[in-house]
Amino acid sequence: METDFVKLMTTKSDDGLEEYINNRQKYTSVAIYAAVDELKKRGRIFTDEEFDKIATDVKQQEKIRMQRIADSEAKRKWDKNLVEDSDAIELYSQKAISGFSIAFGLMFSSILMALNLNRTPSKRAIPLVIVFGIVFTVVQFYLLSLIPRNSGLTLATNFGGALILNSVFWKKFIGDETPYRKRKIWVPLIIGILISALFLSVMILLPAA
């Protein structure tokens, strides 16, 4: 049953109502505005500046709350098919694929997806995934070379490629409803870090060559 905040505020003291306003980060927008309206009825005058500050804070708080809900929904979506059943197939999760794509590039996460497919009846799709990773990476490097270096854009395109891997390849060749156990990521993580360190070392040494 939802709380009737308008009725609730009529039972509060003035100090109790001020609590909702002074510590508004703790309360919902409905409760805060109900407290404001009740204080107005009791003669409390809010300046335009004061009310704008309340409205701005409430809007920001709602934005943060909605982002948390969205993040929680995304997490549930990614983890919804995770099971502890020892008979279930062991796969690199969609979250891992997205994370590796952002950190190390789409080619790396395409290999993880190919390793997943190698444990399913869809092994025939492995070349397709690898080709996608290669083509995407080549096109990405070419397009990014045409504009000033922008790490944010690189991360965005990496994430976009991961979305394609998860929403197209995973959905088609593994299945959104396939239960699986989470495969440990330590080995590919170490490999990714070593490759990145090697690449960075080469980039640093090249100018001196």
**Rounded CA gap, 109 and 97, in Å?**
5
**Rounded CA gap, 10 and 36, in Å?**
11
Q: Give residue-wise pLDDT tens across range 50-77.
A: 889 988 988 888 888 777 766 666 666 6
Q: Give residue-wise pLDDT tens across range 133-182.
A: 999 999 988 888 887 766 678 888 888 999 999 989 999 999 888 889 99
Q: Is the pLDDT of residue 209 over 50?
A: no
Q: What is the mean pLDDT of the segment spanning 4-15? A: 88
Q: Is the pLDDT of residue 207 over 60?
A: no
**More confident position, 77 or 199:** 199
Strand partners for 181: 90
Q: Give residue-wise pLDDT tens across range 13-63.
A: 999 999 988 988 888 888 898 999 999 999 998 888 988 998 898 888 888
In the prediction, which pLDDT does 112 show? 95
**Rounded CA gap, 101 and 108, in Å?**
6
DSSP letters along 163-177, please?
Answer: HHIIIIIIIIII-TT
Token pair 């197939």: residue: 89
Q: What is the mean pLDDT of the segment spanning 74-83? A: 71
Nearest CA among 48, 41, 1, 47 for reference residue 17: 41
In the prediction, which pLDDT does 77 show? 67
Q: What is the mean pLDDT of the segment spanning 118-127? A: 93
Q: What is the mean pLDDT of the segment spanning 189-202? A: 86
Q: Kindly calculate the radius of gyration of the chain based on its CA atoms and give it in whole angstroms.
A: 26
Q: What is the mean pLDDT of the segment spanning 98-106? A: 91
**Rounded CA gap, 181 and 32, in Å?**
44
Q: Please give the model's pTM, rounded to 2 decimal places.
A: 0.61
Question: Which helix (DSSP H) or strand (DSSP E) does residue 43 occupy?
Answer: none
**Rounded CA gap, 56 and 133, in Å?**
44
Q: Is the pLDDT of residue 113 over 90?
A: yes
